[in-house]
Structure formats: C-alpha cells, structure tokens
Amino acid sequence: MPRINSPAELEEFRQGILSKRDPNKPCITLCSGSACHATGSGDVADSLEKEIEKQGLSGEVDIRRTGCHGYCERGPIIVTHPEEISYFQIQPEDVPEILSETIKKKKVVERLLYTDPGTKEKIVHESEIPFYKHQERLVFGSNGSIDPKSIDDYLAIDGYSALAKALCGMTDEQVLEEVKKSNLRGRGGGGFPAGRKWEGSRNDPEPIKYVIVNADEGDPGAYMDRSLLEGNPHSILEGLTLGAYAIGSHEGYIYVRQEYPLAVENVLLAIKTAEEYGFLGKNILGSGFDFIVKVHQGAGAFVCGESTALMTALEGRVGEPRPKYTRSNIKGLWEKPTVLNNVETWANVPLIINKGADWFRQYGTEGSKGTKIFSLVGKIVNTGLVEVPMGTPLKDIIYKIGGGIPGGRKFKAVQTGGPSGGCIPEELLDLEVGFDELTKAGSMMGSGGMIVLDEDTCMVDVARYFIEFLTDESCGKCVPCREGLRQMLKILTNITEGKGREGDIELLEELSETAKEGALCALGKSAPNPFLSTLRYFRDEYEAHIKDQTCPALSCRDLISFYIDPAKCKACMICARKCPAKAIDGGKSKIHIVDQDKCTKCGTCFEVCPPRFGAVTKISGEPVPSPIPEEERIIKKRKKNE
Amino acid sequence: MSEILLQIDGKEVKAKEGMTILEAARSAGISIPTLCHHEKLEPFGGCRLCIVEVEDRGWTKLVVSCVYPAEENLVVRTRSDKVDRIRKMIIELLMAHAPDAFELQDLAKEYGADRDRFEKEASFCIHCGLCVRYCAEVKKKNAVGFVGRGTKKEISFIPEIASKECWDCKECFPLCPTEALQAAYVLTKALFSSRSSS
C-alpha cells in the first residue's frame, strides 16, 4: 500500500494509475446503489462475471460496480465504455447479448435502450436522455464512473487534488475565505452559510474543535445523502478534511444512520484506505496537518438529524435537542466549537477549492449558489435523484426531467423540504428553486425531498400523514411539539374521517402558533408547516371536509362511496370476482350493484373495471343513488344480426 | 463577575453575568411561571411556560427565560398577548393529562385556560422531568428515568435501584407538580414486590 507524502507524489501516483488504464479497453459500469440493488443489480453482476468467462472475454473487459446513477426508475443501469452506451432495467438474461453484441461486435442492443416516450426514438447515450440532459451533475456526476470501494478510481478522477492544493498551497484562512466567497449554504435544511459557520468556530480561542458530517438523512422518500455516501465516500472525506483544516480541527465524525448499511460499509472502507494512503491521519500529504475521522451509527431517530440532538447522541446520551441558545459552532460537541454540515454540503467543498469560488458562483441565483440534488419521488414518471443549478424552475424539474405525471393525471402540488416542509401548488410551478424562494412560498429547501402529488391526492390527508410522521418522531421533550402535535394529529384525523367540526381550522392554527413560537428545536418549530402550507393553498379542501363532509380529491375513505353506474355496467363480473369483501351483487348479464354496508372501500372495483366501461365511480358529499329495480338489471344480449 | 443591566417589564434589573432571564427576574421580585424549573437543577427548557418576549438590537423574539442568558441592555416583557396566548395553550394541553393538578388549576385561572379544551388522556405525568433530573443531578442515583419517545414517553422507576434507594429518600415526591410520580412509584413497588415474592 503506497503512503503518499506530498502533492508531487500524489500526482505521480495518479499518473501511474492512469497509465495502467487503457481508455479504449471495454468497461461495463453497473449501478450498484441501494435502489438498483433492490431491483436486482447484484444478480446482474454475478451474471456478468459468469458470462464474461463463458464467452472467453476474461481480461478483455472490466466491470465496475458504481454507486447510484440517479435514474432509479429505470434501474439496474449498465453503461458500456468507451462508447457510453446506456442500457436500462437490465436483468441477468440480458447480459449474454450485451457481451456478445456490444462488447464483442460493437453493436447496440436496441431493445435495451431508452425510448423517448414522446418521439418513440431510441436514445443511445445517457447524456441525451431527457432525464439527464437537463441536469447539471457537478456533485453527483462522478457517482456513475467510479467504484466507491476503489480509492484508485477516485484518484483517477482527480480525487484528493483539492486536499493537496489546500494543505500544501493555501493557508487555512485562504481555504475559509474561498468557501465564504462561494456563498455555499448548508444543504441539510437551514441553508446557513457554511463559511460563516466555519468562521465562528475558527475564531473561537478553544484549541479543541470538531467537524461532523450529518448523514442522518431521515426525510421520507429522500436518499441523496445515502447515494453520495454510498457512491462517492472519498469526496465527503476530502470535503470534511478541508473543513477541518480551515477551522483547525483534528478530529471529525460521520454520524450515519445504521439503516444505511452500504453507506456505512463504503465509508468505513474509504476511511481505512484514506488512512493507508496518507489522506487521513498524521502529517497528511507531508503538510504537518493531522486529522482523523470516526464513524458513529445512529439508531434511527429522526430528531437526531437536528444538529444539537445529533451531538447529544454522539456524546452517548439520549438524542434530544439542547435547550441552549448558544450556537453549536461555538459550543457544540462536548461543549467545544463544532462545525456540522450535511453530506451534500461537504461534497461541494472539494469542487470549490479545486475550481474556485467564482466558478461555483456562476451556478445558481443571487441568494443560492451552486447546484442542489433533489430526490424526485411520488406521482412522477421518472423517479430518481436529480441535480440542477439553484434557480431552476420547479416546472422544469417536474416536467423536463421528471417526465410529468403518470397515467394522464393532473398535477396538484409538490411537497418539498421533507416532513416539515410544505406543499407548493400548480400556480407557483414557475418558482425558481432556492433557499429563500421556497421559504417565501411557505415551504422550504430542507435536504431536498420533492414529492409530487397528483389530483387524486387529498391535501388534508397529506397534512395528516406528515403530522403523523412528526408525532411519531417527536422526541417528547417540549410541550408545544409533543402535546401540540398529538392534538393536531387527532384533529386532522377527525377531519379526514368526516368528524371535523366548525372551529377546527382555527384551533389547528392556534396549535401551530404555539409550536412555531414555543417549541424547543427547529423540528418542533417547523412541525406545523405541513398543515400551514396546505391550508394556505388548499383551504377549500379543509372546508369541504369539515362543512360538507366531502373529500374533493375522492381519496378519504370515510368520505367516499363506490358506485357502479348502471348505464355503463356491462355485467362483466370482473369487479364482483375481485371484491375481497364480496360486496358486489350481480351475475352474468345482470348489472352489478355495490352493497354499501358490506363495502370496505378498498377501491379494487374502481381499479379493475375496464377503462372502456368506466362504470365504477367514486362519490363524495352526496348520497349514493338507490339501486335500480331488479327487473331492469338484466342486460339483454343483442343478437348477431340485430 | 461583572454586572449586567437589563430591563424587565419596564423595570431596570441588575443581574450577574451567567444568570438567565428567569433568575434575573426572580431576583428582582418579578414572577414568571414555570413547571420544569428547579434552582438546583440544570435548565431543561421542556415546559416552555416561562416563554417571554425579548427585544434585542431592534428584533423582537420569543425565548424561554429559564435558558436565555441575561444580556446587557436586553429589553424583556414577561407578558404580552402572544406570550399569554402561548402559555394558555400550554396549560390547556397539559390539562388533558392532569386536569386536577393544583398547580395547573392555579395557572389556568391566571391565563383563562379551559380545562376541558382537549379530550382527556389522563396520564397525570406532564413530563417536566423534575423527578428524573433531581434523582440524577442531586441524588446521583438514577432510580427514575424516562422511557420511550415523543407521545409515548413515560417516567419509570428502575426497580433494581428503586427498591434499594427510594424507600428512605422520596425527595422527588414533593417536586412533582401532579400526582403522577407517586402513582408511578406505587406501581413499581407493587410490581417489584410481586415479582420478588413469587
């Protein structure tokens, strides 16, 4: 194992790696992030190894298991190099053809390519696919080209060059100034300027200081930090080390949730190899700077993503936020100055040091610089991780990259910022994403969750869902959050069950104020957001539930009934057979009727009724029409010649 | 230690550096209601009842006085419409659990809180943590602790420690603003004696 003692040695070593790599040698990269792993990339990898041997290609083709490419909807993904042909949704049985056609004969396997849903055209290269074409993948892009378990792969793409540049060519103050100048803001939630946070710690006279990576990503549906840590762990270590150098810290922690086993595995390995190479430990790159990193696995409490709760948990105590008003960059972990930043924030740092603050500032808006990775999920065609410059309109993310709403349904709202974020309605789709822009719209950036909701989603139920999540995850220390959320959840549940009362909205508003103003930590203070933002834009839905016991989205089970339109029913028996409650009466040639007393409102009949009939409908707020007389239920078959 | 001059409810108040607003106010005879505060214990900031309005360099914000440090020239208002509204709500929320606690009833009278605003879920404990913290910080015994999280959080005696330590102490009993503590202790004792006798 080489120990690298200077920037010159690093450069020499890097050239050594590159010279051993033939850019024209075929290489297959296979996405092996958690999402693709779940869709079978492990089996594809096994099949690749076997098939390479079988087809006599051993030694002639490299396989690289990379981190997440982002297009999780279409995984597992294979890209063949040097031609950069992209294949999607690959199963083990596709492997022989890829090897025999693409690797051996340099021919494209048409059926495995991406098909443009509009033009029906086949697209060969990743960069030309709409999902990727409109992105700017500065931070996330390297995921697709390196094996996270190989430090040499990271070095081959200029890894640790920012560290060499900083440690051996810049003063700690210059590093801080560059980050300050870049106006990099925290990607974890608050959007606080990283440079200013660092400066506070740096200026504190206390000699012992800490740096922490917050990898306790807990927002439902958000996984950008996991994918970065799994797919490019060295970039996080490099960023963290640069931060430590800037503030004068010699000890860092990565707080990662234990539900991320692959991230934990990859980052532990990365630390070990970085120590062996001399990028961590004593006298890094011969600069005289010492820095070590330890990994702490969180036990899965959402509140531990809150910085002071995280630090309390790191100290070995119950993960509850601290009541103190002192900033943790002055008195943080063990009361020492501590800089805590999120995974994505740290991942930006090597880029800023390498390419400069001016380069970084060319991306983004006045108040929000650089790019942001969003986790695009929900009712969207292209689920996945997308990285765009700050200032990209929501519309472009949802339609150009996300491909719009599936099933021809209408867009209703996009929920951003995690559980304590808010919902943004259709009329604000032109909004340019940025920290301040999202806050102004009543939501927030948070860590970058983006859940798309369509017209079938009830906004009251959305608020109830997130408040329920937050109630489960409240640490219970302060009254406004613990008790306030408990009552908010009860009221919201009642509303969705048709038991809402006049005055509920006002009471919810009062409880929201108490939490917003009185709760101890940022999570409690922002907990009412799911209610407040849905009320702001969808007040009519709340009123319909309370006043008319109607769910306009036809979604709340207690407020809807399933009804079969006798004029459309063809008595095909499909719904009657599938109904798990045996609530549908009817037979061959006998119009079906839903027995409302037996119906459990599971919606199966609605889903299985053939679209060309469309006989099953949902009704809310009005009585179900009474069944037609028995004699009219018989459908007379038309004779052939009639 | 240097002296600080601040203003509370229009009154000039002298405080020592390191004091909280609550300590400064009480030393000047100005009362601020609390439920989880105890002078022998570290500030907890859990009940949020001692919330006050402060004006700091032109900004008005709400802070809890048991934690917020007394600062030079700080302007503090211990009552305002907003402060009263939040205190009233906190009392109402807690009365769902301990409707008959005397301390809460007195506070309810002061702030016009409705005892029956929320459906009763009488658990008696309002999670002020006085017993838990007193046992840990003053007695250093940790015989009583919190278990669970969030809305499922409860106080619980650790039978193995409680059976040895609590019988002759019970110093936490008078601290409890409701009757919850005594009930929990009686329960633990009953459980423990039934287990050890079986």
Q: The CATH number of the domain where A388 resides is what?
A: 3.10.20.600
What tens digit of pLDDT does each residue of A253-269 get? 999 999 999 999 999 99
- Total number of residues shown for chain A: 642
Determine the pLDDT at residue B166: 87
Given this model, what pLDDT does residue A117 score?
86
Whole-angstrom Cα distance, residue B176 to residue B47? 13
Instruction: Determine the pLDDT at residue A642.
Output: 42
CB A482 to CB B146 under 8 A? no
Given pLDDT bands bounded at 50, 70 and 90, which one contains residue B198? Answer: very low
Confidence band, pLDDT 50/70/90 cuts, at residue A370: very high
| Better-predicted residue by pLDDT, A638 or A24 | A24
What DSSP state is assigned to residue A281? B
Q: What is the per-residue pLDDT across A121-180, written as a single tens digit (0 to 9) for each?
A: 999 999 999 999 999 999 999 998 899 999 999 999 999 999 999 999 999 999 999 999
Cα A219 from Cα A457, distance rounded (Å): 19
**Do B46 and A479 lie within an 8 Å CB cutoff?**
yes
Between A and B, how many CB-CB pairs are < 8 A? 96
> Would you call A318 an interface residue with chain B, using a CB distance cutoff of 8 Å?
yes
**A204 in the same domain as A104:** no
Tell me what pLDDT residue B123 has: 81
Q: Which residues of B touch A474 (CB under 8 A)?
A: 149-151
Could you identify the residue written with the tokens 């599936």? A406
Whether residues B20 and B72 fall in one domain: yes
Task: Specify if A168 maps to a domain.
Answer: yes
Say if CB A383 and CB A422 are below 8 A apart.
Answer: no
In a domain, A8, yes or no: no
User: Residue B158 belongs to what domain range?
Assistant: 130-197
pLDDT of residue A189: 80
pLDDT tops 90 at residue A500: yes
- The conformational region for residue A336 under phi > 0 = left, psi -120 to 50 = alpha, else beta, is beta
User: Which tens digits make up the pLDDT trace of A98-124?
Assistant: 999 999 999 999 999 999 888 899 999
Predicted TM-score (pTM) of the model is 0.92
How much is the pLDDT for A639? 53
Nearest CB to B67 within list A325, A476, A483? A325
Kindly report, residue by residue over B28-68, the tens digit of the pLDDT: 999 999 999 999 999 999 999 999 999 988 889 999 999 99
A448 and A463 share one domain: no
- The listed range with the strongest mean pLDDT (A217-226, A286-295, A440-449) is A286-295
| Domain-embedded: residue A18 | no
**Predicted pLDDT of residue A446:** 87
CATH number of domain containing B193: 3.30.70
- Give the DSSP H or E segment for A228: helix A224-231
Same domain, B9 and B73: yes
User: Sign of the CA dihedral B83, B89, B90, B95?
Assistant: positive
Please check whether residue A471 lies inside any domain of the structure.
yes
Q: How many domains does the structure of chain A reveal?
A: 5
Query: How close is the nearest chain B Cα to the Cα of A41, in Å?
Result: 38
CB contact under 8 A, A510 and B85: yes
Average pLDDT, chain A: 94
Question: Chain B partners of A324 at a C-beta cutoff of 8 Å?
Answer: 67
Indicate if B9 and B62 belong to the same structural domain. yes
**Cβ–Cβ gap A482/B151 under 8 Å:** yes
Amino acid symbol at A487? Q
CATH number at residue B11: 3.10.20.740
Same domain, residue pair B142 and B103: no
Last residue of a domain, one of A361, A389, A423: A361
Question: Using one digit for the tens of pLDDT, what is the confidence trace for A437-467?
Answer: 999 998 999 889 999 999 999 999 999 999 9
* Residue A573 scores a pLDDT above 70: yes
**Is-cis flag, bond preceding A130, omega within 30?**
no
Do A163 and A274 belong together in one domain? yes
Residue B88 in tokens: 């009233």
Q: Which of A482, A513, A518 sits opposite B150 (nearest CB)?
A: A482
ipTM: 0.93
pLDDT score of A641: 53
Q: What is the mean pLDDT of residues B72-94?
A: 96
